[in-house]
Structure 1
Amino acid sequence: MSESTPSEILTSEPLLRVATTYLRPSDLELLEQAFHLAACAHKGQFRKSGEPYLIHPLSVAVILAEWHLDPQALCAALLHDTVEDTGTTAQEIMEQFGHSVSELVEGVSKLDRLEFQTEQQAQAENFRKMLLAMARDVRVILIKLADRLHNMRTLGAMKSDKQRRIARETLDIYGPIANRLGLHKLYQELEDLGFRYLYPNRYTVLSKALKAARGNRREVVGKILTALEQRLASFGLDVSIKGREKHLSSIYQKMQEKSLSFSQVQDIYGFRVIVPDLSSCYLALGALHTLYKPIPGKFKDYIAIPKSNGYQSLHTTLFGPFGTPVEIQIRTRDMHKIAESGVASHWLYKSSNTPLSDVQKKTHQWLQSLLEYQSESGDAAEFLEHIKVDLFPDAVYVFTPKGTIKSLIRGATAVDFAYDVHTDIGHHCVAAKINDQLAPLRTILNNGDRVEIITEAEATPNPAWLNYVVTAKARAKIRHYLRTLRHEEAEVLGERLLHQALRALNADPGTLTTDQWEQLLKGDRCKTREEVLAEIGLGKRLNIVVARSFLPKNGDTFPTPEMRTSITIRGSEGMAVQFAPCCRPIPGDPIIGLIKKGQGLLIHTQDCQNIRQSRTDPDKWVDVAWENNSGQLFEVAIKVLVLNRRGVLATVASAIAEAHSNIDSVTIAKADGTYSEINFTVQVQDRAHLAILMQNLRENPDVVRLTRV
């Protein structure tokens, strides 16, 4: 395309030249119609380079034709900018080319339709839209990737700051998506072009070094290639062998990751062996292992266990001549086709409706799971965080108790495995058996592990799991559960707060009618009673204000508020009620509740220093009292100054245990050579329990001073 003159490019000939090889004459006529519509729509429009704008959609269509996509996708590629940038309407496209083409054009167009306040938000939102469009029809993403490829090929016409921004976006989003879909050639070209424009000086230096090294390496490559051909022929194998030169971006990445020099990276020689059938793959592997010795730990069988994007090959690394490593990939022609075209190879133009292959089904499952993640994500940035994790290919393969292979990303834990099996298994998991040995849920899984999850019906997700789960599914499911749970808890707390405010205004909460609630909700941002109560519980609106809105508005004065009834605190209310970490209140302490916006009810001791200045607004404070005999355990901090003697920590811990208290955490700060300061966080039932514990400690002769923090 780049060698063509403008006059040649402004005809449909470059596209028809490629499309003729696999499309029917009637399909070619449809392409001609789409080309003429695009030519008319973009007439008078020019790119930054000064070329006619029509060059861009035509080039995108040619790229897709090289992937052998169907005529509807090619028409959509020609027309993908017409609705957005010209006067052509989606209705006109539908009337001329049908619903399928119109849907594809709309899918590509909406990716760039919205405006955003920040670059990060724009990136995340565009990513979300692109993935949602892809989940409905994968051809949308193929068109978008071809669109990005042509834009990267012609990025030189842009200003340097825009080049860097587009290159970074390509490396962060489009390259990984191409890789995840198995579009290997596209992925490599996007990576190289992204590297070229993001780091132009480094690209130039490496490019010159690679050209110089190529001449020096020619003799060694030729010698290895001849040896490979002769050995494989001696085993009766009809093969095709090609040398694989590393791409500049992969050379640079390896130099960065492993702190290698250019010459060290170039010491590795790569060859690809294409064989006629599956059995020949393993025969060729055996033949090559008799030629050069394999390097232990460098063999991977992606035929028996394909990558998640459908990639299949045998990978081995051998000790070559002069001790240089030789990387070999062995695959069939069909495997090579999938390795190069990936998911595009499954959406090739076909005249008949063929059933989905296993690889296609696997890809469809991944695409559909994106919709599930999106529906449970709070915002675009969170969704981006979820999906970016799944775009990186390093995987670990583990087995269920029944022997089914599960593919997880590297670093996945037993909790990730539980959610991968089923959401309910994840929600109720309490422990794991890894290779028949009990193991913590945070245990990182290794290749070949046999994992069994132990569940309990009453168990629920722990917020701490978010600190170590790594898969998108587990993170999304846990967050969705906690978000739902918190909303329900806030709703219960909000109802208690509203009833307290109503009673303070001499109104009976039991007399509220449905009509009163409907009157309150008219024009309100909340649409239901439950949403109003949740907002009260989360501190987003004041209970006293909502309570007053239920009182008569006939000009009468409000009733004189009576003394507020207290809300009882049990200690088991969940996330809607929190205990302030500054004063750590426990039953028996005089307490007061602070409504904190977005957090709910925060419980402090009444003499807490941190609330002294913020007690000026009485509407934000709630009278609270401890429920008798709640049976819960509460954390309290104590500071113990002890004589610095051997075994003193053990005697102090023993005294705490004798008081039937648990030690949650302990830190030791050495005061001087004579004394040491020990800070404990212990669990007690109430102040009486704490008093017993502290009395036990005072009876210890090594304890010099004891205070509650």
Structure 2
Amino acid sequence: MSDFQPEEIKLINDQFDDLLNYYKAVNPNGNIAIVQKAFQLAYQAHDGMRRRSGEPYIMHPIAVAEIVAKEIGLGATSISASLLHDVVEDTEYTIEEMEQMFNPKIASIVDGLTKIAGATTFKSDSIQAENFRKLLLTMSDDIRVILIKIADRLHNMRTLGSMPPHKQYKIAAETLFVYAPLSHRLGLYNIKSELEDLAFKYEHPATYADLASKISHSEEERDELFRQFTKPIEERLKILDFNFTIKKRIKSVYSIWKKMQQKDIPFEEVFDLMATRIVFEPKTYLDEKVQCWNIYSAITSIYRPKPDRIRDWISVPKANGYEALHMTVMGPKGRWFEVQIRSQRMDEIAEKGYAAHWKYKSGPDSNETELERWLKTIRELLETPESNAIEFMNDFKLNLFSQEIMVFTPKGEMKVLPQGATALDFAFEIHTELGLQCIGAKVNHNLVPLSHKLKSGDQVEIITSSKQKPQEEWLSFVTTARAKSKIKGIFKNERKKFIKAGEKRLEEKLNKLKLTTNSRILKKLEAYFDVETREELMYNIGRENIEIDNLQDILREKTQSKIVKYWRLQFGNKKNKQTPEKKQDSQPISKRKSIQLTDDKSDIDYTVATCCNPIPGDDVIGYVDENDNVVLHKRQCEKAIKLMSNYGNQIVDATWISHKLHSFLSIIKINGIDKQGMLSQISKVISEDQDVNMREVHFGSHDGVFEGIIHLYVHNVEDVNNLIFKIVKIKGITNVQRVEQSQLSQK
């Protein structure tokens, strides 16, 4: 007897029937029985369980299985594992029972999808990163683990509205940091775009709503332009006897916002909102590539192409298997149009990624693709994994580059590397020994150092020496995970020796002071020498990078400050004793779900992160460190996204309350026509503003235009916006915007 209501049981059965009917239609000879058996077990195991939204929990695994079947195109084993993916984690069933009831493959996939149980240490480890590493370990044997996990994440993002804000930020950041780029790398473009949009929607709801509204309002104009643009193309392709479809693709909200940020432009200046996609049924007697170029030729006989915007991914597919011919042409009303040309096979690979790529693989003798080479690299990375899960995640992220370059060996063999890769990365890409013995390289016949960054089309010859030994400084400039993991592997044993030497040296120094090593002393030393972990401290002591001859002074100085702090806490506030605060106020910050930021810092003492300099009015999150101190970041800050994706339990939702006492640093950038008196006019506007003070001014002009960077102290976002509104009114000013220090550093 089920614990669900009759209408809920009907809904569950209808949803599963829809999934089963779809699978039967696309796989008439598929293993229907095992899918039905998996559903029955999942239904029984999750009976009575509900999601936070209140719906029966079994609806979630069914939805994940639907994504796996319909949007990724996987088969019975994956659908069954999707239906069972939470059974072991949330119920009494074990992996061994899964193996007995189903088969070792399904059990192995379910095991890979089951989170690690138990807690983790506060700072050096991250349970989120550990869980992801476990996923990858299983993925190295079976790619279906990560594909199902992506489907699981997509459904969780689609239903994220029922979660509290601090959970939404953590999950959204983790999605942007790992799952969206991973989906892209596996060729799941539609899923990648939806994950990015959903994450953006929860991190910046107001901005998302504004952009979505603007896209919607311009839809009628876009449809008319699309009709005008495609009509002559359709006529020409019909004359050439092509069987084809033409679709329009609208740029995602997140990618529009990202372009606005990167190019410093408003929405109205994003001209490539829409792309035209031509998908054709290839003629059997002619090569697909030739037919793509025939369509290209037909279009360029109607519209003039932009030469620097031709992308030939049919001759050299992307590393994730993507094939297409892209071009940009000048269309009606002086608008640029991007056109994507694909065969039906190319389109299916683009839509369903790895699963479709494998379907079209011609057999065991076919050439190894870039996607398979990437998976091989991941397996190599897992062979010598970082002991620290966060470091491992950082190395793995290096393999998720979407921008790639094509580089050639002296014999003309092509290698695909991430943009920014160096000559040393190239050496490790060829062979580990070649990388370890590399002393230099010739790029296009010119001698270059190991750190030389390669460009697409470079021909590279590696120079080696048997006397060469790996250098630690190599880690500062290599960019590929393969190179980093191989270099780190060499230094692991050596590092252990230095750590032991450091422990011995510190112990000897402490013995002379009649002290023993304990966590209190180690924390003082870590803080004094500004190192993150005990391992790093011991390593630097062992290498004599850190001098501890004055150990007694270091410990005394820290101890005194602690005593003073203790004295003030115990005796300094007796006269001003306050009435007891609310219970929540006495709670450690790390246990709270949200905090309010006021002018009075007596309740919550927070600091502003220098990487993004948030000010009152910005969307912010708080990261709570091990001392219960709060560091504020903008939600879109890259460092904040990384913290939320790795340390979700230490993130609190932060809300600004009115601020008029404290001032915060903000930076604005001004562009305009260089003319006499311009700086004076800008300075006058700022000096007359009662809520703003200038700290630094940097102006430079070139060929009749200028750029100015002004550092200001303001109370909140409203002050900045008001000032920008006043400055932009000055004749000759073309653009004024708020920027971050990190954006200036990149330039």
1:440 to 449, 455, 475: 449
3-state SS of 1:239 partner: strand
Deviation at 1:256, TM superposition (A): 1.1
Please give the secondary structure, in 2, of the residue aligned with 1:189.
Answer: helix
Q: Deviation digits for residues 645-694 of structure 1, max 9, x if unmatched?
A: xxxxxxxxxxxxxxxxxxxxxxxxxxxxxxxxxxxxxxxxxxxxxxxxxx
The residue number in structure 1 matching 2:504 is 539
What residue in structure 2 maps to residue 18 of structure 1?
Answer: 22
Match of 1:56 in 2: 60
Distance in 1, Cα, partners of 2:473 & 2:75: 48
In the alignment, residue 27 of structure 2 is paired with which amino acid?
A: L
Alignment partner of 2:381 out of 370, 373, 377? 373
156-165 vs 111-120, greater mean Cα deviation: 111-120
Q: Is 2:120 the partner of 1:116?
A: yes
Distance 1:106 1:142 in 2: 14
| RMSD, aligned α-carbons | 2.9
Deviations 1:528-566 (A, max 9, x none): xxxxxx7247636758999xxxxxxxxxxxxxxxxxxxx
Alpha-carbon distance change, 305 to 156 in structure 1, aligned in 2, over 3 angstroms: same
Distance 2:414 2:436 in 1: 21
Alpha-carbon distance, 1:601 to partner: 5.5
Query: Gapped runs of 5+ residues in structure 2?
Result: 1-5, 283-287, 512-536, 556-747
Q: Does 1:335 align with 2:346?
A: yes
**Residue in 2 that maps onto 1:281:** 292
1:213 Cα shift?
0.6
Cα 1:308–1:5 change in 2 (3 A) is farther
Please report how far the alpha carbon of residue 377 of structure 1 lies from its aligned counterpart in structure 2 after TM superposition. Answer: 2.3
| TM superposition shift of 1:25 | 6.4
Q: Which amino acid aligns with 1:310?
A: G
Counterparts of 1:7-406 in structure 2, within 5 Å, are: 7-11=9-13, 12-24=16-28, 27-66=31-70, 67-109=72-114, 111-118=115-122, 121-266=126-271, 268-277=273-282, 278=288, 279-346=290-357, 355-356=363-364, 362-374=370-382, 375-406=384-415
Offset from partner CA, 1:321-345 (integer Å, 9 cap, x none) = 2221110111111011111111122
Change in 2 beyond 3 A, CA 1:186/1:614: same
Query: 1:507-586 maps to which residues of 2 (within 5 A)?
Result: 535-536=500-501, 539=504
The CA distance in 1 between the partners of 2:347 and 2:554, in whole Å, is: 73
Deviation string, structure 1 residues 432-466 (Cα, Å, up to 9, x no partner): 11111112222111111110011111011222222
CA contact (8 A) 2:406 2:457 kept: yes
Distance 1:444 1:354, change over 3 A: closer
Residues 571-610 of structure 1: pairs in structure 2 closer than 5 A: 597-599=538-540
Are the counterparts in 2 of residues 535 and 541 from structure 1 also a CA contact under 8 Å?
A: no
Task: Give the number of equivalent residue pairs.
Answer: 514
Q: Deviations over 1:11-48 (max 9, x none)?
A: 13122121111334672222222111111111110111
Q: Among 417, 435, 443, which residue is 1:408 paired with?
A: 417
| Distance in 1 separating the partners of 2:293 and 2:345 | 16
CA contact (8 A) 2:272 2:338 kept: no
1:6–1:250 CA distance, 2 compared to 1 (3 A) = farther
| Rounded Cα–Cα distance in structure 1 between residues aligned with 2:238 and 2:30 | 46
Q: Answer whether contact 1:133 1:140 (CA < 8 A) is retained.
A: yes
Q: Kindly provide the amino acid, as one letter, of the partner of residue 302 in structure 1.
A: W
Residue 310 of structure 1 contacts residue 342 of structure 1 at CA under 8 Å; is this kept in 2?
yes
Q: Distance in 2 between matches of 1:138 and 1:39?
A: 26
Structure-1-length-normalised TM-score: 0.68
Q: Tell me the CA shift for residue 217 of structure 1.
A: 2.0
**How far does residue 90 in structure 1 lie from its aligned partner after superposition?**
2.3
Distance 1:95 1:482, change over 3 A: closer
Secondary structure of 1:255's counterpart equals: helix
**Does the 8 Å CA contact 2:271/2:336 hold for their aligned counterparts?**
no
Counterpart in the other structure of 2:482 = 473
CA offsets per residue over residues 112-167 of structure 1, 9 Å max, x none?
Answer: 53533459723322221221121111111111111111111111111122112111
Going from structure 1 to structure 2, the CA distance change for 1:612 and 1:137 (only over 3 Å counts) comes to closer
Alpha-carbon distance in 1 for matches of 2:7, 2:343: 39
**1:295 and 1:319 in contact (8 A); partners too:** yes
* Cα distance in 2 for residues equivalent to 1:615 and 1:51: 62
Give secondary structure in 1 for the equivalent of 2:73.
coil
In structure 1, the gaps of 5 or more residues are 491-533, 547-595, 618-709
Q: The residue matched to 2:31 in structure 1 has which SS?
A: helix
Which amino acid is 1:46 matched to?
R
Paired with 2:320 and 2:195, the residues of 1 have a C-alpha distance of 18
The verdict on how the C-alpha distance between 1:267 and 1:409 changes in structure 2, with shifts beyond 3 A counting, is closer
Equivalent position amino acid for 2:323 in 1: Q
Change (3 A) 1:177 1:339: same
Q: Partners of 2:101 and 2:385 in 1: how far apart?
A: 38
Q: Residues of 2 paired with 1:149 and 1:365: CA distance?
A: 26
**Structure 1 residues 612 and 139, CA gap change in structure 2 (3 angstroms):** closer
The higher relative CO (CA closer than 8 Å, separation ≥ 6) is in 2
Is residue 135–residue 370 contact of structure 1 (8 Å, CA) maintained in 2?
yes
Measured after TM superposition, the shift of residue 482 of structure 1 is 2.7
Q: 1:73 to 1:426 in 2, by over 3 A?
A: same
Q: Equivalents in 2 of 1:340, 1:116: separation in Å? A: 38
TM-score by length of 2: 0.65
Letter in 2 for 1:308: A
Amino acid at match of 1:164: Y
Structure 1 position 379, deviation (Å): 1.6
CA distance in 2, matches of 1:41, 1:176: 33
1:139–1:9 Cα change, 3 Å: farther
Percent identity over the alignment? 37
Q: CA deviation digits over 1:257-314, x for unaligned, max 9?
A: 1112112114554101112331210101111112111112111111111111100111
Distance 1:26 1:317, change over 3 A: closer
Distance across 1 between alignment mates of 2:551 and 2:208: 59
The structural deviation recorded for 1:7 is: 4.2
Partner of 1:396, secondary structure, is: strand
